Amino acid sequence: MAVEASSKAFEGLLRELAPQVLGALLRRFRDFYAAEDAVQEALVAAALAWPREGVPDHPRAWLIQVAFRRLADQARAEQARRRREEVLATEQGPLVTELEPEVDAEADDTLLLLLMCCHPALTPASAIALTLRAVGGLTTAEIAKAFLVPEATMAQRISRAKQTVKASGVPFQRPTSAEWTARLGNVLHVLYLIFNEGYTSSFGPDLQRSELANEAIRLTRMVYQLLPSDAEVAGLLALLLLTDARRRARSGPDAELIPLDEQDRSLWDPAEIAEGVALISAALPRGAVGPYQLQAAIAAIHDEAPRAEDTDWPQILALYSLLERMLDNPMVMLNRAIALAMVHGPQAGLERLKALDVDGRLSGHHRLDAVRAHLLEMAGARQDAVAHYKVAAGRTTSLPEQRYLLARAARLCDRQG
């Protein structure tokens, strides 16, 4: 037995091991509900036993053994009931009493579990919830709190997601080569969405939810450790680190939002920046460049500029132009409009926004009005800028963003007065 660790260390270890144990049980039993219940019981048993007895030499194997016994006992009880009712069909397979824990305690099924949780049949909201629950190890209450919904509502969402995965009939096994790219793409997209919600909360009183952003980075790092040669996985991890590096500088002493060009860059995290730059620098030369690598490259340019006025906007514009050709995404179009304005002046950016008006996908979104207001302010059209800042403030569901937009409008009104 190893030396006893602190309760915080136990919590971190158990959270790290939980998805690996769940994956191992799913590969053997194929029952999401039963496997997750068994894992939770094993984690409780570990939380009680390990502080007293010490962490086992092989903690994952210990958890798998305890959870397996729980599932095997349940299966035996169910089989006995069926026998008593004489409804057990012969095609049900071998007797449970013949089962042995044929689970490789050294195998790491985390990636397979992520692929399963990010099933194409699930909505992004359901995939995020299921990923945080099964792979992230967050409780239903923690996830509900993060997304400001009642715990019962989140429990139903997670339950429906599990049912959808089960009904799909997709086995818990390594995807074929034809399935791999699409399914991994879903995983990266879900992790990206989790991070975005943590970095800039879409609703509520808080600008950011650090626990979600941290969890997205942790899970993405886990995928990178499993697939270190995948350039897009490296690109996503680099993007999250380079973005997260600015977290401390994004809000002031009164929790007010501070835009990128006004941030105190001495507060940026140099370790995250260095790691992110190293990751993207190594990923870009490998071959085909994907969207996450391009976004990471853009983030690196921002992070490496000593001052806002030193930002290499022509390079950022070139990268956004390439990204826009690669992705049919209105947010990319919006960000390219900003880059256009920084390189060729606000009028060029405003002209580009007309295409987004025609596109319609950002119709009613506060960011379109906020960007238009900013470019109008740059162009000296203060009255129009005030109007759009106010419209944007009325459309956002984030209180910090709302306060920031109204403050911008008020400041312009004071100047006019």
Question: pLDDT per residue over 274-319, tens digit each?
Answer: 999 999 999 999 878 999 999 999 999 999 999 999 999 999 999 9
Domain contains 13: yes
Q: What is the pLDDT of residue 88?
A: 44
Number of domains in the chain: 1
Strand partners, 204: 398
199 touches 215 (CB < 8 A): no
pLDDT category at 140 given cuts 50, 70, 90 is: confident
How big is the chain by its Cα radius of gyration, in Å? 25
DSSP, collapsed to helix, strand or coil, labels residue 132 as: helix
Domain contains 389: no
The alpha carbon dihedral of 158, 160, 161, 166 has a sign of positive
Domain contains 344: no
Cα separation, 189 vs 195, whole angstroms: 10
Domain contains 25: yes
Cα separation, 295 vs 280, whole angstroms: 10
Flag whether pLDDT at 362 surpasses 70: yes
Q: What is the pLDDT of residue 385?
A: 97
**How many degrees, rounded to 5, is the angle at CA 215 between CA 323 and CA 243?**
40
Flag whether pLDDT at 6 surpasses 70: no
Cα separation, 25 vs 109, whole angstroms: 10
Range of the domain at 43: 7-98
DSSP, collapsed to helix, strand or coil, labels residue 407 as: helix
Domain contains 34: yes
**Close Cβ partners of 148 (under 8 Å, ≥ 6 residues apart):** 203, 204
Domain contains 89: yes
Q: What is the pLDDT of residue 83?
A: 61
Indicate the residue type of 360: G
Cα separation, 204 vs 148, whole angstroms: 8
Q: What is the pLDDT of residue 107?
A: 56
Q: What is the pLDDT of residue 101?
A: 45
The structure's pTM equals 0.81
The long-range contacts involving 355-359, CB below 8 angstroms and separated by at least 24 positions, are 356/330, 359/330, 359/333
Per the structure block, which two tokens stand in for 323? 């990204």
Flag whether pLDDT at 261 surpasses 70: yes
Cα separation, 69 vs 101, whole angstroms: 8
Domain contains 65: yes
Cα separation, 96 vs 92, whole angstroms: 10
Residue from 387, 396, 409 nearest 207 by CA: 396
Flag whether pLDDT at 377 surpasses 90: yes
Mean pLDDT, residues 109-114: 81
Q: What is the pLDDT of residue 97?
A: 36
Q: H or E segment at 43?
A: helix 32-53
Domain contains 45: yes
pLDDT category at 79 given cuts 50, 70, 90 is: low
219 touches 267 (CB < 8 A): no
The alpha carbon dihedral of 33, 19, 69, 44 has a sign of negative
What percent of the chain stands above pLDDT 90? 48
Per the structure block, which two tokens stand in for 322? 């390439």
Q: What is the largest CA-CA distance in the chain?
A: 87
96 touches 74 (CB < 8 A): no
